[in-house]
Structure 1
Amino acid sequence: MKTIRVVAAVIRKGDAIFATARGYGEFKGQWEFPGGKVEEGETPQQALIREIEEELDTEIEVGELIQTVEYDYPNFHLSMDCFWAVVKTGKLVLKEAEAARWLTKEELDSVNWLPADIDLIQRLKGKL
């Protein structure tokens, strides 16, 4: 099975985290943390900075690794490094996502998360 290596930013502001709804593809409308594929020669942190700039027109500061999610979708294996992040500059402009929300711990279950993110959500509840 093909492995896709991606990174995700759990952008935090106070007691809320930023989540986006996919605007395209098989999982359109389901919620995730912004990020994307790691390109050859990039560190996960460099990939995350680039992806957030491309997707949200925002510069972030990448913090510590929360966890690496390993998840088998029907057609591929996902390996996703999830990092804490904060906004340095920019206004989180949606270029690819169809919606976005700041979610508190109590609101994390109010959206339909992508399957690979569900374990991470449980872990985040203990950290918010």
Structure 2
Amino acid sequence: MKTIHVVAAVITDGTRVYATQRGYGEQKGGWEFPGGKIEAGETPEAALRREILEELQTEIAVGTYLGTVEYDYSAFHLSMACYICQVAAGHLTLVDHMAAKWLTADTMESVDWLPADKVVVEWVRTYMGWEAAEPRHEGPR
């Protein structure tokens, strides 16, 4: 199975994180942390800065490495290095994505995350000091 090496930016303002909805490809409509493929000779950090500039027209500062997700999709294996990032210059502007949202501890589960990104959501909760969301109950208690 082919392995695709990508990077993902967990862009945060300190209290929220930025999520984007894919506007193209097989995973169109799914929610993800923005990023993209690492090109030959590129470091993960350089790839992340380039991808965010291309996709969101924004310069970012790449910070803490969260980890690398290894996930098997039906057609390929994804190896996704994830980093905490902050906006350094510019305004987040959608180029390829359908939508975007700033999410908090209470709204992290309000979007339909792509499978590999679900792992990152848990890392983000730990990094941000957010507890897991309380289960919602229907009807009276």
* TM-score using structure 2 length: 0.89
Report the counterpart of residue 24 of structure 1 in structure 2: 24
Aligned to 2:127, the other structure's residue is in SS state coil
1:99 aligned partner, one-letter code: A
Report the counterpart of residue 60 of structure 2 in structure 1: 60
Displacement of 1:14 after TM fit? 2.3
Runs of 4 or more consecutive aligned structure 1 residues displaced over 2 Å after TM superposition? none
Describe how 1:21-100 pairs up with structure 2 within 5 A. Answer: 21-100=21-100
Aligned to 2:12, the other structure's residue is in SS state strand
CA distance in 1, matches of 2:106, 2:126: 11
CA distance in 1, matches of 2:124, 2:45: 20
Identity among equivalent pairs (%): 57
The answer for unaligned runs of 5 or more in structure 2 is 129-141
Displacement of 1:127 after TM fit? 2.1
2:73 aligned partner, one-letter code: Y
1:93 aligned partner, one-letter code: T
CA distance in 1, matches of 2:57, 2:45: 17
- The question of 1:103 aligning with 2:103 is answered yes
Structure with max Cα Rg: 2
CA distance in 1, matches of 2:116, 2:42: 23
RMSD: 0.7
CA distance in 2, matches of 1:58, 1:73: 29
What number of residue pairs does the alignment pair up? 128
- Higher strand residue share: 1
CA distance in 2, matches of 1:45, 1:126: 22
CA distance in 1, matches of 2:101, 2:34: 12
CA distance in 1, matches of 2:37, 2:77: 13
The answer for unaligned runs of 5 or more in structure 1 is none
Deviations 1:62-112 (A, max 9, x none): 001101000000110000000000001010110000000000011110000
Displacement of 1:11 after TM fit? 0.3
Report the counterpart of residue 12 of structure 1 in structure 2: 12
